[in-house]
Amino acid sequence: MGLEKIIDKKNNDLSKKIDKQRVPEHVAIIMDGNGRWATKKGLPRSFGHNKGVSTLKEILKASKRLGCKVLTVYAFSTENWTRPRKEVNFLINLFSDVLQNEINGIHEESTKIKFIGDLSPFPETLKKIISSSESLTKKNNEFLFNVCVNYGGRQEIVKVARKLALKSFSGEIKPSEVDEELFNSELLTQGIKDPELLIRTSGEKRLSNFLLWQLAYSEIYISDLLWPDFNEYEFLKAIVDYQSRNRRFGGIESLNNKSFEDSQHSS
Ligand code: FPP
């Protein structure tokens, strides 16, 4: 199972452009555009969600093959409850069906699946499927697949703030001990490296309340394709684009180790 073989089938040039040493460890994706994809084709929105699942399976495989270690996808936001009840129910059933059909394959691939978000409003049947999928795969260590459901970045941050305030009130911690590290340790993504790359499909240029804390320094790649049309080739294009960027984290790495004075003289 090599990266070369997969890419050669589709596009030779792209395979040569990817630096296997600089593959992002963690990629996050806002899978947007399922509904529009279906509507454009005169189909019910549910068709778009079904096709979106095929895309997700392709990207999960592709990211693993490429050498990424974590993939986090936004499958259901806290705002998605405002959709018509029929669509919400369809999505809930889809999550159950997909999990039941795919969990053995996911497990065989030594992938750990983790659901991130407030699961409490979901039906018991889905909660049970989620819990058994998580426990079946909990020891897998090849790859981590995070699925964000009923997730909202602001809600997550508020919960952490409340938890730390309570700990401080009870004397367990001092207010002065609250720092980024402590805050991080209370997030739902605790222990997981922040995503180096965020991909969003359908051309929208918003974060939509997704991983607000964790995406602070991530590179953002916007694809104009609707999620059901996104594929491995497009994913690799995003990786090539990511690798072409100079990640500075607010510093001046772009000076290529020259001192500021050197750069002033030579420019
Ligand atoms: C966004 O398109 C997509 C969703 C809200 C659902 C995505 C869910 C899946 C692909 C299933 C994943 C399943 C598991 C178990 C991980 P949209 O409906 O917002 O499209 P629109 O913006 O065109 O309306």
What span, in angstroms and rounded, lies between the C-alpha atoms of 8 and 160? Answer: 46
Give pLDDT, residue 13: 62
Ligand 1 mean position, distance from CA 31 (Å): 6
Task: For residue range 36-53, list pLDDT tens digits in order.
Answer: 999 999 999 999 999 999
The CATH homologous superfamily for domain 24-152+196-243 is: Decaprenyl diphosphate synthase-like (3.40.1180.10)
Give pLDDT, residue 152: 96
What span, in angstroms and rounded, lies between the C-alpha atoms of 229 and 238? Answer: 14
Task: Name 38's Cβ contacts closer than 8 Å, sequence gap at least 6.
Answer: 44, 45, 46, 47, 48, 49, 51, 228
pTM of the model: 0.90
DSSP 195: P
The pick from 30, 31, 116 for probing ligand 1's pocket by mutation, whose C-beta has the most ligand atoms within 8 angstroms, reads: 31
Give pLDDT, residue 16: 76
Give pLDDT, residue 11: 53
Which residues approach ligand 1 with their CB closer than 6 A?
31-36, 49, 52-53, 56, 75, 80, 91, 94-95, 98-99, 147
Ligand 1 mean position, distance from CA 30 (Å): 9
Whether the CB-CB separation of 200 and 30 falls below 8 Å is answered with: yes
pLDDT less than 70: residues of the chain = 1-13, 247-249, 252-267
- Shortest CA distance to 133 belongs to which of 95, 164, 162, 159? 95
Active site residues: 32, 80
The pick from 30, 34, 95, 223 for probing ligand 1's pocket by mutation, whose C-beta has the most ligand atoms within 8 angstroms, reads: 34
> Residue whose CA is closest, atom 14 of ligand 1?
95
**Residue 214 half-sphere exposure toward CB, CA atoms < 13 A:** 25
Task: For residue range 161-189, list pLDDT tens digits in order.
Answer: 999 999 999 999 999 999 999 999 999 99
